A and B are shown apart, each in its own frame.
Chain A
Amino acid sequence: MLSPNTDPSSTAAAAPSSERVPPFEIHDMTVAYHNKPVLWDVDLTVPENQLIAILGPNGAGKSTLIKAVLGLIPRASGRVDIFGKPYETNRSLVGYVPQRESVDWDFPISALEVVLMGRYGHLGLFRRPGKHDREISLDALDKVGMADYAERQISQLSGGQQQRVFLARALVQDARLYFMDEPFAGVDAATERAILTLLRELKEQQKTVIVVHHSLQTVREYFDHLILLNMRVVAHGPMAETFNDDNLQKTYGGRLAILDRAAEAVRQAKE
């Protein structure tokens, strides 16, 4: 399914020979927002072809982790590898679903146009999306149950439908590794089910999906692998081993106060 337009380096990385390389590695990453450290010394390697949840309390730096990996906010230190190569080289293997609130939904475009944007990575400068891209995009809309809304202006969609349009856009990126920022936040049950179906389908297609999640209730059912985050990686591993009271206690409560104050001390010193 890889587009012929993908540049040679990424196709090489996508070849079976590199199958052993983990899809995603972070080495010693620290991120600071306005001098306030929000993530410390993250070291992470995730397994391939898994549905992976990033779970943690509010302000734990879940979205920050994804944004720093994708280079949307600067990293104070550290390196990110995608399929064994620096992120900048292997960018085309990565798909991204941002938080719904991050864009202006009054923008004068249709749902289909948003999805077509996912094809832009496969198009050259000055080139317009063609018939083939439209077909792929309509397929993707169909997969998320939004085929009837293709020509709808995006402000006329409900929150859940907007989220599904974003998912469809990620689908047509045709990536091997997906980052999704809170796709389940504030959506209705139908959308939640549609997203879940889609996640499972992606897994069947040998993709790796990393999802920022907020619900302790559903995380076990939806995902295979868990990263517990609270300003640093508290625990990560297969769901069955990682999802236990001890780890959750470490992530959400108990000694949080001291970590909080430590962060505050660093912030004061650095400001």
Chain B
Amino acid sequence: MDTVLGFDAIGFWIIATGILVNVSGALLGNYLVLRRMSLLGDAISHAVLPGLAIAFVVAQSRHPIPMLIGAALAGLATVLLTELIRRFARVAEDAAIGVVFTSLFALGVILISRVASQVDLDPGCVLYGILESAALDTISLAGLEIPRMTLTLAIATVIIIAFVGLFWKELKIVSFDPNLATTLGLPTTLIHYLLMAMVAGFTVVAFEAVGSILVVAMLVVPSATAYLLTDRMHWMVLLSVVVGISSAVLGRESALMLDTSVAGMMAVAAGAHFVLAVLFGPHYGVVARTLFQLRVKLRIQREDIMALVYRWQERGSGSAMPRNAIVEAMSGRTGHTLALNMLTWRGLMQRAADGFSLSDEGRKEAGKLIRGHRLWESFLAKHSPLPDDHLHSPADRMEHFINDKLLQDVAQAVDHPDTDPHGQPILSNGKG
């Protein structure tokens, strides 16, 4: 092997093959994740084993076409058997999947061990894949030496892209609501089995590269990552492909660094993407959700302080409210120092020697809040028979969430009163 040029070529082909596996897996995986059938993908990838062995025995060669047919048939058999056991023997779906794929896998292991002596189809290759040696087995195509594995995967990827593109709308409806799809006259069953056949076919061409167990990583992880990042179908498909490509590249690079299995590291890289999405996803991420909740809490806190100072001034207790009075009123709530600092920094409040007072803008803001609060109280008083002293706390919380439009309707509903149930004046819109 050419150590200088050859190394580059090997690296290129490994990455290219890895990308093809990840992209085609991600494209199909989206539908498995959305239809909650990820485990069927896992089952199929295990169950193609006996199909391969039988195809070999029948065809007496390792020619890819019979292998592909054998595996696809075994994949479909998994789906069918699971469905039959579930429906007719009334076994829960997960248990049915578990019984079928482990049995078929065991059968496959036995068959392969029987035919293994005649062919180089050793169980190790089936389990781990031989991505690293992809570049060793090449085919000449238009003067180019292309690894056989890469070529097969490229063809598979093209077929899968065509499948997803052609049946885009059908796959979407079938994934979302199969019953609706059926009533619309769509061939739901056909699309279901086509998808399953695609998964089976993908498994066959992919397992040689990454091994039958890691196939499910390529199917599920990029798609699930995308699912955490977006709510739109086309973005999900696109993102899953991006995650797939990125996992392939990062997986290969890290495997090179650690001198270990490329397929394994691709799965780990995909897993890392997933963990990042779980933590930092823009809408569903743990960090985003926590930060958002903190921000809402802080905003409520700021608004409460503004309203507090407003009432203090309204009562004529003094122009500035002492800091310890504010702290006392905010009892048991953390973060008031931050809230006070933010208020002064934004110019809504001024810090004076004897405490805090509202700026003009602050008074306007606070006035709006108080108006919302008092209108809401009036609304609840009119439409709820609770005693008056119970009113305060619900209204206290609602004012932070009422937008202008809703407030107008609330005002209308209570006929624009001048005072709230406690006799406090309700200010007209926006005036402080």
Are A and B in direct contact (Cβ within 8 Å)?
A: yes
The answer to whether the Cβ of B400 comes within 8 Å of any Cβ in the partner chain is yes
Among B379, B393, B401, the residue within 8 A (CB) of A41 is B393
Please, which residues of chain B bring their CB within 8 A of the CB of A258? 379, 406, 409-410, 413
Task: Contact check, A271 vs B401: say whether CB atoms are below 8 A apart.
Answer: no
| Residue numbers in A under 8 Å from B384 (CB-CB) | 232, 234-235, 250
A43 within 8 A of B: yes
Nearest chain A CB to B40's CB is how many angstroms away?
Answer: 22
CB-based contact A40/B402 at 8 Å:
no
Are B406 and A266 touching (Cβ within 8 A)?
no
**Closest residue on chain B to residue A246 by CB atoms:** B385
- Is the CB–CB distance between A262 and B385 below 8 Å? no
Give residues of chain B (154-196) contacting chain A, Cβ–Cβ below 8 Å.
none
Question: Considering the complex, which residues of chain B in the window 377-426 have a beta carbon less than 8 Å from any beta carbon of chain A?
Answer: 379, 383-386, 390, 393-394, 397-398, 400-403, 406, 409-410, 413
Neighbouring B residues of A110 by C-beta, 8 Å: none
Q: How far is the CA of A235 from the CA of B398 in the complex (A)?
A: 20
A254 at the interface (CB under 8 A from B): yes
Q: Is A233 an interface position by the 8 A CB rule?
A: yes
Q: Is the CB of B386 within 8 A of A233?
A: yes
What is the CA–CA distance of A270 and B295 in the complex, to the nearest angstrom? 9
Instruction: Assess the B401–A265 pair: CB atoms within 8 A.
Output: yes
Taking the nearest CB of chain A, how far is it from the CB of B377, in angstroms? Answer: 13
The verdict on A28 contacting chain B, using a C-beta distance below 8 Å, is yes
Cβ–Cβ < 8 Å partners of B235 in chain A: none
B390 CB to nearest A CB, Å? 6
* A104 nearest in chain B by CB position: B92
Knowing A232-B384, A254-B383, A265-B401, the reply to whether A40 touches B293 (Cβ < 8 A) is no
Q: Is B99 an interface residue (CB 8 A)?
A: no
**Is A269 at the interface (CB under 8 A from chain B)?**
yes
User: Which residues does chain B contribute within 8 Å of A41, judged by CB atoms?
Assistant: 393-394, 397
On whether A269 and B413 interact (CB within 8 A), knowing A234-B385, A261-B406, the answer reads no
Judged by a CB distance under 8 angstroms, whether A247 is at the interface is: yes
CB neighbours of B386 from chain A (8 A): 233
B292 within 8 A of A: yes
Question: How many Å from the CB of A261 to the closest CB on chain B?
Answer: 6
Task: Report the bound CA distance from A269 to B390 in whole Å.
Answer: 24
Residues of B contacting A271 with CB < 8 Å? 292
Contact between chains at A232 and B413 (CB < 8 Å): no
Q: Flag if B383 contacts A255 (CB, 8 Å).
A: yes
User: In the complex, which residues 275-317 of chain B have their Cβ closer than 8 Å to any Cβ of chain A?
Assistant: 292-293, 296
For B297, give the chain A residue with the smallest CB separation. Answer: A270
CA of A40 to CA of B398, assembled, Å: 10
Contact A235 B394 (CB under 8 A): no
Q: Is the CB of A269 within 8 A of B406?
A: no
- Cβ-defined contact, B383 with A250, below 8 A: yes
What's the Cα separation between A234 and B383 when bound, in Å? 8
Taking CB atoms, residues of chain A closer than 8 Å to B394 are 40-41, 232
Q: Are A270 and B296 in contact (CB under 8 A)?
A: yes
Shortest beta-carbon distance from B192 to chain A in Å: 25
Mask of B318-357 contacts with A, CB within 8 angstroms, 1/0? 0000000000000000000000000000000000000000
Output the nearest chain A residue to B299 by Cβ-Cβ distance: A269
CB distance from A61 to the nearest CB of B (A): 14
Closest CB of chain A to B391's CB: distance in Å? 10
Look across to chain B and name the residue whose beta carbon is closest to the beta carbon of A233: B386
| Cβ proximity bits A232-247 to B, threshold 8 Å, 1 near / 0 not | 1111000000000001
- Whether A28 pairs with B393 at a CB distance below 8 angstroms is yes
Hey, which chain B residues are within 8 Å of A269, CB to CB? 296, 400-401
Chain A residues in 8 Å Cβ range of B296: 269-270
Nearest-neighbour CB distance to chain B for A164, whole angstroms, equals: 25
> What's the minimum C-beta distance from B392 to chain A, rounded to whole angstroms?
10
CB contact under 8 A between A255 and B413, given known A232-B384, A270-B293: yes
Tell me if A262 and B402 are in contact (CB < 8 A). Answer: yes
* Distance to closest chain A CB from B387 (angstroms): 10
- Please state if B393 and A247 are interface contacts (CB–CB under 8 Å): no
Cβ of A232: which chain B residues have Cβ within 8 Å of it? Answer: 384, 394
Query: Which among B383, B385, B403 is the interface contact of A265 at CB below 8 angstroms?
Result: B403
Tell me whether A262 and B413 are in contact (CB under 8 A).
Answer: no
Which residues on B sit within 8 Å (CB–CB) of A40? 394, 397
CB pair B293–A262 under 8 Å, yes or no, is: no
A interface residues, Cβ below 8 angstroms from B: 28, 35, 40-41, 43, 232-235, 247, 250, 254-255, 258, 261-262, 265-266, 269-271
Using CB atoms and an 8 Å cutoff, list the residues of chain B in contact with chain A: 292-293, 296, 379, 383-386, 390, 393-394, 397-398, 400-403, 406, 409-410, 413
Task: Please name 30 pairs of A and B residues whose Cβ atoms are closer than 8 Å in the assembled complex, sorted by A.
Answer: A35-B293, A40-B394, A41-B393, A41-B394, A41-B397, A43-B390, A232-B384, A232-B394, A234-B385, A235-B384, A250-B383, A250-B384, A250-B385, A254-B383, A255-B379, A255-B383, A258-B406, A258-B409, A261-B409, A262-B401, A262-B402, A265-B402, A265-B403, A265-B406, A266-B398, A269-B296, A269-B401, A270-B292, A270-B296, A271-B292
A41-B393, A269-B400 provided; 14 other pairs, C-beta below 8 A? A35-B293, A40-B397, A233-B386, A234-B384, A250-B385, A258-B379, A258-B406, A258-B410, A262-B398, A262-B406, A265-B403, A269-B401, A270-B292, A270-B296
